[in-house]
Structure 1
């Protein structure tokens, strides 16, 4: 089971993006453009990984748009109290240009989704027409990984309560091919439970050493071992967790993710906390369900709506 434990933070939904940035910095990520005029709007983040041998890059923005940095509209800044837009944006860069203060090697921007409303990554912002919207943010950050879960939990808005979005930024925990980590981490990737760029797939910075290098980030399929679910749900109140894997016929079998699990079982409801005993330690896992009934054709990187996270 995972050692990645998500901490609970209670906040207004406009505070989520900066909380993620702040926790990345606390965990050892550097903002490479911290000396540039746009440092509060564009966040070029870098880390050497937990073992000091990686080159993890990602460029993040609190703007619900896929427009270029030179065309960012203030009306799409999700941190502002009078702005109804909800999601950020990212690109999987391959380095940093000190002169311009932005990332290099990738031009395309993708949606970094914090709310359940966006069907897929596009340049159309998602509106949330509430002046105040309280959420529970479950968050784990180290120098290789960011896991966030935004769980709508505002007593004043019962119609929204329980709506959930989960995101993963970082490296797989295990690699099954020789991977490159210089000058940037090729398997660095992003997965989203809603509003993803492609269904059942992660956005990955580049291919492994086995395949010719790509000029831009890649769409690589994700999958889980569904055979473990053949007897689930059962009548005994059992639950089965399985990890998510990365790989397809184009890139081959590349890796296994850690920090979250796909689950199925019986005798449980969404929001339940399951206790797992491993090595005489009691681990707690919260069961989330990310399906958005109000959104048609929503793309999901995980290939399943039922996702469990370890919590404190």
Structure 2
């Protein structure tokens, strides 16, 4: 079956693979961005995580500035900024400055979570806003600062986000299918749905976004990015090894709440209890793994089901070259004529 053409983008976390340093993880992220720019990917977003051994993308706005300078064609953005960690004004200022530096190439994805555990979230912002109502107010303030409409228009001491510019980065709301999807519909923004976080029951949230969408000047009709974790390889043994490490990562995430990367050699001789096998099986739908033909079939099914405008790909593997090859295989499938 002929693969459907669809835009591909990448969500990167500055992954600390086993055996490399945090600094090397950042350098690998830069290398992947340069490759993606050459291959024809549409966007390159970086996530926000704190106090984790596996991801070091703690300051997306800083990394975005460097990545945009190292690339030419792709849009560069945050996937996303975890708004409860900050003031809406500061986020608007950061991304207005990025828009000045790289006009027309910056995206602002906004998340509801903190990107970390509760203790670290409290350290990031001791007075952070946590409730749904407070988050909705932050979103309203952010839109106001981006559009110069925040506050009372007659206020002579009105607060503006600087630099003052005529354009602003488009706003995307990150969602796992819940309230954020409806917020994106009400605000008329794009929706970035994390399929890898909710592969079983996320479709109703996406449908609700489309059904309740209110057009805005920037987004006249619903726009959906579907976030998918994929590892593609022509090597069956490598697929097995990578699946084993991903299984272990999700098992530890369930047990401890921590994202931990493993090498295959660390766990190749392990055996799992029936309960552990059940946990592993419950997480398997969160990732797609297979040969190019197998991935094509799986993605065609997802595309038909969700009808996304774009796929946002994350790839995890023990080796850097294996990650690179996976992105190249996907580009061969979807981006080449």
Q: TM-score range by the shorter chain?
A: under 0.3
Normalised by the length of structure 2, the TM-score is 0.25
More strand by share: 1
When normalised by structure 1's length, the TM-score is 0.26
Q: Which has the higher contact order (CA 8 A, sep 6+)?
A: 2
Q: Which has the larger radius of gyration?
A: 2
Comparing both structures, which one devotes a greater share of its residues to helix? 2
